[in-house]
Structure 1
Amino acid sequence: MKGLIIKKNKDTLRGFVDDRDWDKNPDQIRFKTRLDSSPSTFLPLDIHGFSVDNIIYVGGVVEAEVTELNTNDLEENPKINIEIDTTFLQVVVGGAKELYYYKNKTDRENFYIKREGQLDLLVYKKYIDEQKNTGKAVVIENKKYLGQLTLYLKECPDINSKLKNTSYNEGDLRRLFNYYYECTSTESSFTKTKNKLSFELGAITGISISSLNFTSYGGFEALLARKNYDSSVNFAGGLFLNIGLPKNLSKWSINNELFYSSYNFKDTFTEVRGENNFTITDTELGYSYIKLNNLVRYTYPIGNTFLYLNAGVSNGFAINETNKLTEVFQFNERRVITEERALEDVRKYEQGLLFGLGVKYNRYSLEFRTESGTGIDLNRNLGSGTRRYFLLLGYRFN
């Protein structure tokens, strides 16, 4: 992604950063001046820092408290456990008063302030202490960071009123620093913004190939189960809203579709009982659906192209129905023609399971998808199911 590195002399070099949307702070980065050039690798002490996707990192050697904070893993020792790490720290707030964030490989989070050019650890630890008078074990919190921040932000006279409600997490500490800048009528040079949802709106269109299967449990409905319905090829399409989830470069998303699909099946079944004695049964079943499809999507980048997998559910409501059975009875010279519904009890609401594989390039996408549906029949003597295959072309509006 487009980004820059900040050299030791504070000059900047623009280019492209291999952005991994790091959950744990990186200890090296790869950078290109042009997309077609070879990447260079930089360690935290090689450069002052870098910026990508509106996030700033600075390199440094820091003290890190490594004690577990999970209640089940707490130790019975109040001593601060310090390790020295070399890493790229994330800038949470920049300016006259600065706040930095570091998450190490064991998921322990630490925060830092800068005083006289040095990064100072804001100290916080939880441990278990056994009370002598009761013999019960209680969780004790070492909140030294509150005293450190009292001195660091002392230019704001009522900072203590905010500190007592400030926990050791990024959201609370960022709000505290923002309050400091408001209180002192100064401005920060940078404030990290929270990761937000991303939205893609577009349309999809294509074809569906549908098959309809019946399973007979006896009775007159066995006739339908004996029929051989050819596949139905029809138009399919609709609108989509893809909601990218924060973190991991929005590789995970929720794809929602307002979707139209249909099918139409016809079959003729002839039963011959003798000369000039036969029955011809014509069946036509056709349904059109408006569906709400909800899918979880995982997208993986390969250069400028993106592969994705979909899995989810569909909920469809029939908006149009063709449900007809015509029978011609021929016995010697007598012919009787009857017409009725092929199925009396029909399910107008259909659920289905969706799976898809697709590829995206720029604003366009191409996807192959399969759907297994609950079918249309409600008769206890007959079970039904649908299978659909889709080939869909998509276009993103934004």
Structure 2
Amino acid sequence: MKRFLLGLLLGTSAICSAQSNFQKGYVVNDLKDTLRGYVDYKEWRKNPSSVTFKVGLDTDAQIFTVDRASAWSVDGFESYQRHEVEISMSKIDLDRLSAGLDQSKIKSTVFLQVLQTGKNVTLYSYTDGIKRRFYLQGNDDPLPYELSSQRYMKSGQESIVIKETGYIRQLSLVMNKLNAGTADELKRLAFLPYKEEELMNIVAIINEQKLAKPKTSAIRFFAGTGLNVFKAVYKGNIAFAQRGAVIKTSYSPLVTAGIDILANPAIGKLIYRLESSLLMSKNEASIDSYEYAGSNAQHTFDQVTITFLPQLIYNIYNANHLKAFVGAGIGVNFSSYSNNRTSQYNSITRATTRADNAIDMEKFNFSLPFTAGVVFNKKIEVSAGYAFSSSITNYSNFSINMQRYRIGVNYLFGKL
């Protein structure tokens, strides 16, 4: 199982790059012709400079760049328009802030994402490797203009960071010109963050419209059960690390629950998962002829662990009725122990020496699990996982590590 999961994880990159996700949409070419068909919809971290389009799912793909298309859209999800705009080049990372206001700009023709349209203004966004920017265009404006926002260090006093909020002044001018918004809404504008949701709410006020609720939720919950397979691994200067030692494998039920946050619920490829699990194991190690013939030793312990596991899940195959995924994360484990007992039998004296809690077990440790599985009909998730052995002791001359396999079934709650 471990080799299979590792191979699947290493093959993710090649599979992901080859996969496409064609959804209904359109492209407007330079001749102003609207071509209906299918657009390859991806989780873009930056505004794309080109889009792949097919007239039919069984036809050849075409690439439309900013030189060949004036607009394109994925039905019900995202729309883009080509515009020549000025793009601010000021940085937002604290270690790259300028000393004083940075007014550097470049002019470029790009695809702007359409966030909201209305009777008065249109709101766009543009993201590149530097930052995300928002643009506004009124009915009388020939081109969209950037809503300015910048952080910079005060000249001569680099420990002081100043936030420039020109976008508040720009929006205030538009609202006053159109007599849009109430007195309270104009007052709240002074504290408006430079974020998509807040800007869309203000633009909705300017356009005298209500925002439509998203069709899909970015959050879903899950719960499930399965089987855990544990094996203790003894290393170093301890009897049970020697050749001939027998380590029993422990089998126990798995109970798990958690929450998924989808990076883009319309696509659902990248998922941030927080999972909690209840794990139990009964462990036993023994060795015959320990130290001399006729003696043997044994160590037993029961472990109950609550695990919190933040992880990244990626659907390497992402069809509507079937998804295949891999995932990895860092497990934070809180454990309690019982029946922690060592014993040694001497055949000469026929005496057995027992000691409780002679080996101190760590109540807190980390693990590195990864998983792979499939999802059927967006509801039933079947997975298998492996966690690299993690130490539950803190001795310099020996260690006890827990190695874990799991198979499980989860039910996914939520509308996606």
Q: What band does the TM-score fall into relative to the shorter chain?
A: 0.7 to 0.9
Q: Which amino acid aligns with 1:370?
A: A
Equivalences for residues 46-85 of structure 1 within 5 A: 46=69, 48-51=71-74, 54-68=76-90, 70=92, 72-73=97-98, 81=105, 83-85=107-109
SS of match in other structure, 1:26? coil
Larger CA deviation: 94-103 vs 313-322: 313-322
Q: How far apart, in 2, do the equivalents of 1:38 and 1:90 lie?
A: 26
Residues 389 and 402, structure 2, Cα contact 8 Å, conserved in 1: yes
Q: 1:115, CA displacement in angstroms?
A: 0.5
For the residues of structure 1 that align with 2:25 and 2:189, how far apart are their CA atoms? Answer: 35
AA of the residue aligned to 1:154 = N
> C-alpha separation between the residues in 2 aligned to 1:14 and 1:77?
43
Taking the aligned partners of 1:10 and 1:101, their CA distance within structure 2 comes to 23
The corresponding residue for 2:222 is 201
> 1:108-119 residue pairs with structure 2 within 5 A?
109-116=133-140, 118-119=142-143
> 1:205 touches 1:393 (CA, 8 Å); kept in 2?
yes
Specify the code of the residue in structure 2 equivalent to 1:327: Y
State the TM-score, normalizing by the size of structure 1: 0.72
Conservation of the 8 A alpha-carbon contact between 1:283 and 1:326: yes
Q: CA deviation at 1:224?
A: 5.8
Q: Secondary structure of the residue that 2:97 maps to in structure 1?
A: helix
**Structure 1 residues 230, 272: CA separation in 2 closer, same or farther (over 3 Å shift)?**
closer
Corresponding residue number in structure 1 for 2:361: 347
Distance, in Å, in 2 between the alignment partners of 1:126 and 1:272 is 72
Counterpart mapping for 1:206-225 below 5 A? 206-213=227-234, 215-216=236-237
Query: CA 1:209–1:315 in structure 2 vs 1: closer, same or farther (change >3 Å)?
Result: closer
- Return the alpha-carbon distance in structure 1 between the equivalents of residues 369 and 191 of structure 2: 47
Task: Give how far 1:43 is off.
Answer: 4.4
Return the index of the structure with the highest Cα Rg. 1
1:302-341: per-residue Cα shift (whole Å, max 9, x none)?
A: 45443423131241423653625252443xxxx6343523
How far the C-alpha of 1:345 sits from its partner, in A, is 4.7
CA distance in 2, matches of 1:231, 1:238: 25
Task: Give the corresponding residue for 1:175.
Answer: 201
Equivalent position to 1:289, from 282, 304, 311: 304
Aligned-CA RMSD value: 4.3
Structure 2 partner of 1:135: none
Q: How far apart, CA to CA, are the structure 2 residues paired with 1:92 and 1:260?
A: 45
Q: Does 1:356 align with 2:370?
A: yes
With normalisation by structure 2, the TM-score equals 0.69
Deviation at residue 388 of structure 1 after TM alignment: 0.8
Rate the CA distance shift 1:124–1:215 in 2: closer, same or farther, 3 A: closer
Matched AA of 2:123: Y
Aligned mate of 1:229, from 245, 261, 284: 245
Q: Following superposition of structure 1 onto structure 2, how do residues 317-396 of structure 1 map, counting pairs within 5 Å?
A: 317-318=335-336, 320-321=338-339, 323=341, 325=343, 327-330=345-348, 336-338=350-352, 340-341=354-355, 343-347=357-361, 349=363, 351-362=365-376, 363-375=380-392, 383-396=398-411
Identity %: 10
In structure 2, the CA distance between the partners of 1:20 and 1:285, relative to structure 1 (3 Å rule), is: same
CA shift in 2, pair 1:64/1:193, >3 Å: farther
Q: CA shift at 1:167, angstroms? A: 5.5
State how far apart, in whole Å, the 1-side matches of 2:276 and 2:102 are.
55
Deviations 1:54-97 (A, max 9, x none): 5331323232233415483367686x84514131x223323223
* Deviation, structure 1 residue 394: 3.6
- The one-letter code matched in structure 1 to 2:250 is N
CA positional deviation for 1:356 = 1.8
Question: What amino acid is the match of 2:232?
Answer: S
Q: Provide structure 2 residue ranges, at least 5 long, that are not aligned to the other structure.
A: 1-20, 156-161
The count of residues paired between Structure 1 and Structure 2 equals 369
Report SS of the residue matched to 2:200: helix
Q: Identify the match of residue 262 of structure 1 among 281, 304, 326.
A: 281
The C-alpha deviation readout for 1:239-259, integer Å capped at 9, x for no partner, is 142423535956252341313
> Is 2:81–2:114's contact at 8 Å kept on the other side of the alignment?
no
CA contact (8 A) 1:122 1:148 kept: no
Separation in 1 of the partners of 2:218 and 2:353?
55
Instruction: From the superposition, tell whether residues 397 and 139 of structure 1 become closer, same or farther in structure 2 (CA, over 3 Å).
Output: closer
Does residue 5 (structure 1) correspond to residue 25 (structure 2)? The answer is: yes
Are the equivalent residues in 1 in contact too, given 2:333–2:367 (CA < 8 A)?
no
Which amino acid in structure 1 is aligned with residue 312 of structure 2?
R
Among candidates 97, 121, 124, match of residue 145 of structure 2: 121
Distance of aligned partners of 1:271 and 1:223 in 2 relative to their CA distance in 1, 3 Å threshold: closer
- Partners of 1:68 and 1:74 within 8 A in 2: no
| Greater shift in the superposed pair: 315-324 or 21-30 | 315-324
Q: State the Cα deviation string for residues 278-308 of structure 1 (Å, max 9, x = none).
A: 6433524142423314142242524544342
SS at match of 1:149: helix
> Are the aligned partners of 2:70 and 2:82 in contact in 1 as well (CA < 8 Å)?
no
Residue 63 to residue 198, structure 1, CA distance change in 2 (3 Å): same
Instruction: Give the superposition deviation at 1:14.
Output: 6.4
Q: Partner of 1:21: helix, strand, or coil?
A: coil
Q: Partners in 2 of 1:283 and 1:393 — Cα distance?
A: 32
Q: 1:393 to 1:146 in 2, by over 3 A?
A: closer
Measured against aligned partners, the alpha-carbon deviations of 1:217-246 in whole angstroms (never above 9, x if no partner) come to: xxxxx6566574324223242214242353
Look up the match of 2:116.
93
Structure-2 residue corresponding to 1:20: 42
What is residue 187 of structure 2 aligned with on the other side? 161
Q: 2: CA distance between counterparts of 1:126 and 1:350? A: 43
